[in-house]
């Protein structure tokens, strides 16, 4: 009996590693914080008693977990070089078991989304299809691969806005700067995993353009984004274009994230060691965490 229990506990722990439980926890925390601080008038009881909110969070967790599984399934060859531990965990769980779980998780995501509303159900149906299409086709297209990977991370957060919120300029700054931060991280990850991508024919932006051109392209993009942000700030302060919106939390955290991307993209010119590129990736990942959780300071 103890041996059977140990076996199932081990498989469960391996599964948590494959679906990257820490990312799932971050997404759920970000969604709850966003709802509490933006859509509930800071009334904590509304967070606990809003059933639709819990359904959207559950749908997000299940759909993102399924996305990690299908992505690992399609990337198994490349990950043997770049992430061997991740592949070993998948092999121990079994390919057929993971694919069956992928289907179950997507069904659960759609079921919970349907309990929120038909609109949310359609939203997550489109998201699950996009996740599969990203893993099946978009993974091997340079630039498109990095853009779609960034969108996959952002979309669950947009689910809260989609159901509860309304458009405003703060959202534009918040999501736009997050997208640039995520795109920068995807390119840096491509640099760190360049060897595996090259061997197995993944046409990432680094493989297509080369490391040197990629560095210059990333630095140019982030320089343009950061200085455009500063210009918009100056215009809004002295010659307001948006009469009913002033710089606030969303504007400030966007500046921090854009500066982080700007700094990392130029720092990449001084890095040649793959281990240091991994450090830059970890730094950008920390930037994403801070961006998402900093809403608590709003």
* 192 shares a domain with 87: no
In this structure, is the dihedral angle defined by the CA atoms of residues 246, 251, 252 and 258, taken in order, positive or negative?
A: negative
Residue 88, CB-side half-sphere exposure with 13 Å CA sphere: 5
Phi, psi of 138 (to 5 degrees): -70, -20
Q: How far is CA 268 from CA 187, 273, 274, 279, 287, in A?
A: 11, 10, 11, 11, 16
* 31 shares a domain with 99: yes
* 291 shares a domain with 172: yes
The answer to whether residue 158 is domain-embedded is no
What is the domain count for the chain? Answer: 2
Q: What is the pLDDT along the chain (298 residues), one digit of tens a residue?
A: 555 566 666 666 667 777 788 888 888 988 888 888 777 776 777 778 888 889 999 999 999 999 888 887 766 555 555 555 555 455 555 677 778 888 999 999 999 999 988 989 999 999 999 988 888 788 778 888 888 888 888 888 888 877 776 666 777 888 899 999 999 998 998 887 766 666 666 677 887 788 889 999 999 999 999 999 888 888 777 766 665 555 567 788 889 999 999 999 999 998 877 778 888 988 899 999 888 888 766 6
* 226 shares a domain with 109: no
Q: What's residue 78's pLDDT?
A: 55
DSSP letters, 232-294, are HHHHHHHS-SSTT----HHHHHHHHHHHHHHHHHHHGGG---HHHHHHHHHHHHHHHHHHHHG
Question: What gap in Å lies between CA 3 and CA 1, rounded to an integer?
Answer: 5
Hey, is 64 helix, strand or coil?
helix
* 132 shares a domain with 207: no
* 122 shares a domain with 10: yes
Q: Which domain holds residue 34?
A: 1-138
DSSP 36: I
294 by Cβ neighbours in 10 Å (0-12 / 13-18 / 19+) ranks as middle
Question: What gap in Å lies between CA 258 and CA 62, rounded to an integer?
Answer: 30
Q: Where are the alpha helices (DSSP H) in 117-210?
A: 118-136, 144-164, 169-192, 194-199, 205-209
* 193 shares a domain with 62: no
The answer to whether residue 49 is domain-embedded is yes
DSSP letters, 30-77, are HHHHHIIIIISTT-HHHHHH-HHHHHHHHHHHHHHHHHHHHHHHHTHH
> What is the chain's alpha carbon radius of gyration, rounded to the nearest angstrom?
20
Q: What's residue 73's pLDDT?
A: 72
Question: What gap in Å lies between CA 289 and CA 296, rounded to an integer?
Answer: 12
The answer to whether residue 113 is domain-embedded is yes
DSSP 239: S
* 126 shares a domain with 3: yes
């Amino acid at each position: 009996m103890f041996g059977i229990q140990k076996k199932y506990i081990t498989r469960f722990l391996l599964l948590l590693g494959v679906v990257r439980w820490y990312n799932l926890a971050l997404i759920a925390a970000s969604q709850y914080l966003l709802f509490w601080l933006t859509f509930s008038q800071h009334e904590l009881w509304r967070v606990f008693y809003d059933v639709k909110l819990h359904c959207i969070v559950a749908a997000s967790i299940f759909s993102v977990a399924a996305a990690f599984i299908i992505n690992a399934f399609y990337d198994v060859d490349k990950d043997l070089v770049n992430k061997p531990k991740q592949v070993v965990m998948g092999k121990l769980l079994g390919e057929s078991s993971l694919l069956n779980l992928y289907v179950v998780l997507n069904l659960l995501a759609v079921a919970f989304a349907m309990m929120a509303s038909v609109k949310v159900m359609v939203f997550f149906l489109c998201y699950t299809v996009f996740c599969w299409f990203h893993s099946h086709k978009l993974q091997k297209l340079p630039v498109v691969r990095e853009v779609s990977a960034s969108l996959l991370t952002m979309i669950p957060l947009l689910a809260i806005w989609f159901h509860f919120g309304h458009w405003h300029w703060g959202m534009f700054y918040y999501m736009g700067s997050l997208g640039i931060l995520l795109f920068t991280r995807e390119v840096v990850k491509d640099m760190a995993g360049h060897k595996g991508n090259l061997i197995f024919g993944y046409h990432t932006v680094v493989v297509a353009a080369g490391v040197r051109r990629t560095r210059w392209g990333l630095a140019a993009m982030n320089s343009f984004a950061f200085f455009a942000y500063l210009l918009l700030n100056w215009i809004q302060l002295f010659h307001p274009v948006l009469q009913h919106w002033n710089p606030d939390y969303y504007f400030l955290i966007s500046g921090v994230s854009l500066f982080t991307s700007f700094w990392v993209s130029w720092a990449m010119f001084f890095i040649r060691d793959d281990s240091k590129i991994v450090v830059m990736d970890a730094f950008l990942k920390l930037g994403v965490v801070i961006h998402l959780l900093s809403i608590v300071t709003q």
